[in-house]
Structure 1
């Protein structure tokens, strides 16, 4: 049986019924939620840890750079390899190694030998491992639930993720008032272990049957990479969504990279306590609302139309948020921005999963993530740190989020307009 035939068989067996009644999807969903909880703790705690140790806005911004840099460096190869390997094993192995990598930070702090290079190196290595996990994860979900249910599955995952975005950072902000940030990373290490055990418990295959007769050699991997990049760049919709994502990520990265010094120096709420946690958390309100809107919007409109409607709102809300100096107004702006920003993110991811052949899912999606997140996030975070050092945190923040305007202009001049006007149906879903 061919890869596509095997994939079709798997999907046909599990395409009907509610996702909540699907045991394997529940395990997959719970694994992602457990892992996301730990990641959110680290997203808040790690830059605070670096800022506490150094007081440097540039070094703090570097933590955001290291989040995305691995995707830029190895994303294409991770995606190509994950299309060849057993996706479930890749995800479990990446989680287990990250238990040690992230866990090394609180251990070093306990022993009194923690250094800033150690923290930055742990963040970088953890994201390298996550790049392989993500490559496998991108291909696993459509095989697990079927392409017809990918939109609903993404909405379910991002919906609870939005709730966590709201609750976890607020809790971390309160915890930082009494607990050293390195100690909180121990919780993230435990969540990697929980995720590995849950993914390992999934019974259904996360990969179609593979029939690779070519030995795994560098030239073969490079050929696989080229095949994925060729599909991405030749497909008008996937290419356009990727460029929009890259530009939006550039602005988003600048904001995240400078958030801690921005909260301290511009909003004057410090780097711990309930106000800091609340401002960090309100993005989650937007995530919850965006996830709730995805399914009804994509049933009524094409994915491309939803992107075109959300991206100008994202640009305007991002600039408005960066301009204010009052923490209450900033919180309101982040809610609106979060809705629009994450609508673009979820619809872009769903679109790629819908239109990409199963045997290319890992490499096409990691190629898209490499450009939209790896390149965009790296550029935005590096530029944010450099601008903050040359001017001020506030000027750098406003400058970076203004890149969202370019994303909106590009989207409305790209093939997405024609795709939105004449959507193509993929497995019963308007693409």
Structure 2
């Protein structure tokens, strides 16, 4: 592994502490809302605030992050996040906390995260350079995955022992820590914005949104990676939606009091950790286009093995392999897309792709799986429905210009050509 470039370590640590704080709030907020209301509807509304801001503000966030100093934007988002979060335990301590306050704070935090995330995705290629992007993002992915494996369990234990409202203050502290770490980075996280002669304002912002969308649609490789990523996310949405009922009805793993369910929940995380180590080596050996095309059918086959499993141990092994294949595809697609996107469009392209994958693909996959599971096909049929969407994405990728790039090994030359635009 090559030495980390200057500024990467505080960037990585910022991502780790920020992810940890977010996971604490992800556990604490629904518990707090349910304790206050005893209402499934209120609790569902708290969960819905996670995806809605990306759909509402994703395009604007990407355009803004490409036109301002990304470090300043991320630091400002962290500080405002801490302010919104600390209002919850403060109101709770004064006996003035309401469910509406919790939801408003959660929505504000998720909205700020959209703008932070847009700047964050654009900052990494500038920080580490295109040549080290896959290795660096794999380290980020592996670190945040490790945090995701550990923190929710600890947060769940803490919520069981202490009241959830004070725990949200911990997320405020991690936001402040993230801001301090980002301020410690001395190298640039943004390239100078090209001067187009257009005045700043809403009209310019709309024009920049259109520029980003236009590039994404015109550039065939970026378009393919984005659309296929959405189909891949649909399969993960089906997995998340069906895991508990599928484990119960197909594998005989009870939804409560059965330690085997915890094993099944951890499988994708274990696979993702393996993928963070494997992806840079695979991308170096095969090239990004070949890895993109080869990883998709492997992910599909691993998913099919999960659907066909009837014993929990076999299912756990297959699910871990699926998590590894899925994560290899994700890491490679994100970094390949960033390597062939112009510097001044990084945030817009990454945020739009994330909108389509996380904001559209996962919810659609979950909804489709739920609808199929309500029929005679059951949870196994719901999982299969998500894989059917993935199969369409695999076919689309193999029929796209990406196949020609893979056959010719056209990776580096294309990156250079696009990077100069």
Classify the TM-score, shorter chain. 0.7 to 0.9
Spell out, residue by residue over 1:123-176, the C-alpha distance to the aligned partner (whole angstroms, 9 max, x if none).
Answer: 433222111111111221111111111111111111222322332234334445
Match of 2:187 in 1: 204
Spell out, residue by residue over 1:98-118, the C-alpha distance to the aligned partner (whole angstroms, 9 max, x if none).
Answer: 223344445555566666555
Alignment of 1:374-389 (within 5 A): 374-383=359-368
Match of 2:139 in 1: 156
CA separation in 2, counterparts of 1:322 and 1:179? 39
Alignment of 1:131-170 (within 5 A): 131-170=114-153
Q: Contact 2:306–2:319 at 8 Å: present in 1 too? A: yes
Residue 423 in 1 paired to residue 409 in 2? Answer: yes
Match of 2:292 in 1: 307
Q: Cα distance, 1:401 vs. partner?
A: 3.0
> Using a 3 Å threshold, how does the CA distance of structure 1 residues 211 and 429 change in structure 2: closer, same or farther?
closer
- Return the TM-score normalized by structure 2: 0.84
Q: Contact 1:45–1:185 at 8 Å: present in 2 too? A: yes
- Return the TM-score normalized by structure 1: 0.82
CA separation in 1, counterparts of 2:133 and 2:178? 21
Q: Cα distance, 1:348 vs. partner?
A: 1.1
Q: Secondary structure at the match of 2:350?
A: helix
Unmatched tracts of structure 1, length 5 or more: 1-16
Alignment of 1:270-285 (within 5 A): 270=256, 277-285=262-270
Q: Cα distance, 1:300 vs. partner?
A: 0.9
Residue 406 in 1 paired to residue 392 in 2? Answer: yes
Q: Contact 2:289–2:411 at 8 Å: present in 1 too? A: no
> Using a 3 Å threshold, how does the CA distance of structure 1 residues 89 and 273 change in structure 2: closer, same or farther?
farther
Unmatched tracts of structure 2, length 5 or more: none
1:370 to 355, 380, 385: 355
CA separation in 1, counterparts of 2:376 and 2:39? 17
Q: Secondary structure at the match of 2:132?
A: helix
Spell out, residue by residue over 1:38-83, the C-alpha distance to the aligned partner (whole angstroms, 9 max, x if none).
Answer: 2333445555666776574x87666665333322222111111111
Residue 235 in 1 paired to residue 219 in 2? Answer: yes
Q: Which moved more, 1:372-381 or 1:396-405?
A: 396-405
Q: Contact 2:246–2:380 at 8 Å: present in 1 too? A: no
Q: Secondary structure at the match of 1:84?
A: coil
Q: Relative contact order (C-alpha < 8 Å, sep 6+): which is higher? A: 1
Match of 1:355 in 2: 340
CA separation in 2, counterparts of 1:310 and 1:338? 12
2:324 to 339, 355, 376: 339
Match of 1:89 in 2: 72
Q: Cα distance, 1:188 vs. partner?
A: 2.6
1:249 to 215, 233, 237: 233
Residue 172 in 1 paired to residue 158 in 2? Answer: no
Spell out, residue by residue over 1:290-343, the C-alpha distance to the aligned partner (whole angstroms, 9 max, x if none).
Answer: 011111101111212212222223234345546768665554343222111111
CA separation in 2, counterparts of 1:95 and 1:382? 32
Q: Secondary structure at the match of 1:67?
A: coil
2:302 to 310, 317, 340: 317
CA separation in 2, counterparts of 1:113 and 1:323? 52
> Using a 3 Å threshold, how does the CA distance of structure 1 residues 181 and 383 change in structure 2: closer, same or farther?
farther
Q: Cα distance, 1:244 vs. partner?
A: 0.9
CA separation in 1, counterparts of 2:74 and 2:83? 15
Give the number of aligned pairs: 412
Q: CA RMSD for the aligned pairs?
A: 3.5
Spell out, residue by residue over 1:255-306, the C-alpha distance to the aligned partner (whole angstroms, 9 max, x if none).
Answer: 3356677778974243x89666554333221111101111110111121221
Residue 215 in 1 paired to residue 202 in 2? Answer: no
